[in-house]
Chains A and B, each alone.
Chain A
Amino acid sequence: MEVMPDLNSTTRHALQEAILQPRFYTTDFDEVDKLRIAHMQEEFAWMMREFERDYNRNHFVRNDEFLADFDDMPARQAFIEFLERSCTAEFSGCLLYAEMYKHLHDPILRATFKYMSRDEGRHAGFLNKTMADLNVALNLRVLQTRKRYTHFKPKFIFYATYLSEKIGYARYITIYRHLERNPQYMIHPIFKWFEQWCNDEYRHGEFFALLMRSQPELLQGGNVRWIRFFLLAVYATMYLNDASRASFYAAMGLNWRDYDQKVIRLCNEIVTQVFPVSLPIDNPQFYRNLDACVAYNSQIAALAGRTDPLAQAQKTRLRAAIATRLYATYQLTPIPTTAANIWQGLPNFPIYRTSTAA
C-alpha cells in the first residue's frame, strides 16, 4: 500500500480519546466444526476463492483529501461518534471471525473466516486512522481487558451476522448513492470509499447465506420464528438508534426516517435470497409500531438522569410499551419468499454458477 505522509494534527480541537467498546463472544465452536458442507463443497470453494481474490486489496488507500482541515466540518462530534461505533463494530467482527478460524478444522471454512477477519481489520484500520486525523486518539490499553465474554448459539451468530453484514451493505450503499447525487453534503471524504467497502460486507453476507443454505434445518420449522425475531431485532435496533442520531443524518442531507426505511426495504429484499420469509414492511402497522417505539424511547431519554420513583415507574411503563409494540410487530404476518419476490443478486456482483465453476 502507498505510504501516506504522517498527519501532524493541527486541529484546534482538544485531543479526545476514542471510545472503543468491542464485544467479546464465544460460541459452541465444536458445533460449528461439526457442520457438514461436503455436499456443497464446490460452492464453498468458489466462495473462498472470491475472498482470496481480495478485490479491495488496494481500495483503502488514503489520498490528499484526508489531509484537509476538518475542524469546522458539520456535525463533527456526531461524525466522531459514528467513526467510533463503526470502528468498534468492525473490530468486533475481526475478532469474532478470527476466533472462528482458530477453532475450526475444515480448511475452506478456516480460510474463509480468515479472509473475512482480514477485511474487517482493514475496515477498522481505515476508520481508526480517520479518527486520528480528527485528533481522536486510540488508547490501546482499553483493549487489554476482555471483560465477561458472552455466548451465542452458532445459529444465532449466523442469523445475526448475516443480517448485520447485509444491513451494513444497505446502509453504506444508501449513503454512497445519496452523496453521489448530492455531493454538497459530502461532509468527509471517507464516504467516497463506501461503494467498494460495502461490497466486502455484501460478500461476507453471501458467505453466511451459503452457510445457512448448506444447513437447511436452519431455514425451516421452528427456526423460521427465530429468523423473524432476528429480522425484527436488526431493523428495530437500527431504527431506534438512528432516531436518536437525526442531526448526523441531517448534516448529510438525509432524513433519518426516510434513510432507515430505504435501508430496511433493501435489506428486506436481499434476505429473500436465503430466508423463507421477510417482514411485512408495507403493512401500515409495521412503521406505526416502530414509530411509536421511537416516541417511547425519546420519552425515556427525556427522563435520563432522574432517579426518583415516579421517573422509574414511567421508564418501566415506557419500556413495557416498547416491548408490547415490538411483540405486535413480530406477530404481523410475514411475507413468504416466492419465485416472484426472491432476490436476484446485485448487478455485476459475482455469483456462483455451476456452469462457470466447473
Chain B
Amino acid sequence: MRRGLGASLLAGAAIAALWHWYTRETLLRGTATVHLQSEHEHFHLHVDLPSAMEIEPGDTLIIETMPEVAGETHGEITYTSPVRVHKASWLRRNVIKRSSIIEISELVEHP
C-alpha cells in the first residue's frame, strides 16, 4: 500500500518535472527590421531578425511595435522594432519536430 503510494507520488513528480521542462521558455530580445505592406498591390509582413535569433520549432516571435495604419499602408513601410523570441524548450522543440505531420491539414490548404 505504502509502496504503491510512493510509486504514484514518484510518477506524479516525474510527470510534473517533464511538464515543467516541456513548457519552460527562454526569452531572447533583439531588434528586427520589419517590412510591412498592406494594400491592394501587395500584402506582406516580413521580419529580418538579427542572425543570433534563429527561429526554431515551437518558438513564438513577438514584434513589439506596429505602426498606426488602420489596416492599410501606402507602399511598403520599413522600420525597426524591438522583438521578443520565446524559445521553446529542447523537449517541446523535438516533440513538435516529430509530430507536426498531424497538423498537415494546415500545410495543404491553399486556394
**Pair A91/B39 contact, Cβ less than 8 Å:** no
Tell me if B52 is interfacial: C-beta within 8 Å of chain A.
no
| Chain A residue, CB-CB nearest to B97 | A151
Tell me if B46 is interfacial: C-beta within 8 Å of chain A.
yes
Q: What 1/0 flags go to A71-114 for Cβ under 8 Å of B?
A: 00000000000000111011101110010001000000000000
- Nearest CB in chain A: distance from B44 CB, A: 4
**Pair A85/B109 contact, Cβ less than 8 Å:** yes
| Chain A residue, CB-CB nearest to B111 | A86
Tell me if A161 is interfacial: C-beta within 8 Å of chain B.
yes
Q: Which residues of B contact A85 (CB under 8 A)?
A: 109, 111
**Pair A152/B107 contact, Cβ less than 8 Å:** yes
Residues of chain B in range 55-111 having any CB-CB distance to chain A below 8 Å = 55-64, 66, 69-72, 88, 96-97, 100-101, 103-111
**Pair B37/A121 contact, Cβ less than 8 Å:** yes
For chain A, give the interface size range: 35 or more
Tell me if B40 is interfacial: C-beta within 8 Å of chain A.
yes
Residue among A25, A60, A201 facing the most chain B CB atoms (10 A cut-off) = A25
Tell me if A218 is interfacial: C-beta within 8 Å of chain B.
no
What total of A-B pairs shows CB separation below 8 Å?
148
| Chain B residue, CB-CB nearest to A240 | B105
Residues of chain B in range 22-54 having any CB-CB distance to chain A below 8 Å = 36-46, 48
**Pair B44/A144 contact, Cβ less than 8 Å:** no
**Pair B104/A233 contact, Cβ less than 8 Å:** yes
From A162-170, A286-294, A349-357, give the one contacting chain B: A162-170
**Pair A149/B58 contact, Cβ less than 8 Å:** yes
For chain B, give the interface size range: 35 or more
From A125-133, A248-256, A334-342, give the one contacting chain B: A125-133
**Pair A140/B66 contact, Cβ less than 8 Å:** yes
Docked CA distance A169–B46 (Å): 26
Tell me if A187 is interfacial: C-beta within 8 Å of chain B.
no
Given contacts A129-B39, A140-B38, contact A230 B96 (CB under 8 A): no
Docked CA distance A201–B62 (Å): 31
Residue from B38, B58, B110 within 8 A of A168 (CB atoms) = B110
Docked CA distance A165–B46 (Å): 22
**Pair A26/B55 contact, Cβ less than 8 Å:** yes
- Nearest CB in chain A: distance from B5 CB, A: 29
Q: Which residues of A contact B42 (CB under 8 A)?
A: 118, 121-122, 124-125
**Pair A122/B109 contact, Cβ less than 8 Å:** no
**Pair A89/B96 contact, Cβ less than 8 Å:** no
Tell me if A40 is interfacial: C-beta within 8 Å of chain B.
no
Docked CA distance A87–B76 (Å): 18
Given contacts A86-B111, A234-B108, contact A122 B41 (CB under 8 A): yes
Which 5 A-B pairs rank lowest in CB-CB distance, beginning with the nearest?
A164-B110, A151-B57, A129-B40, A124-B43, A125-B43
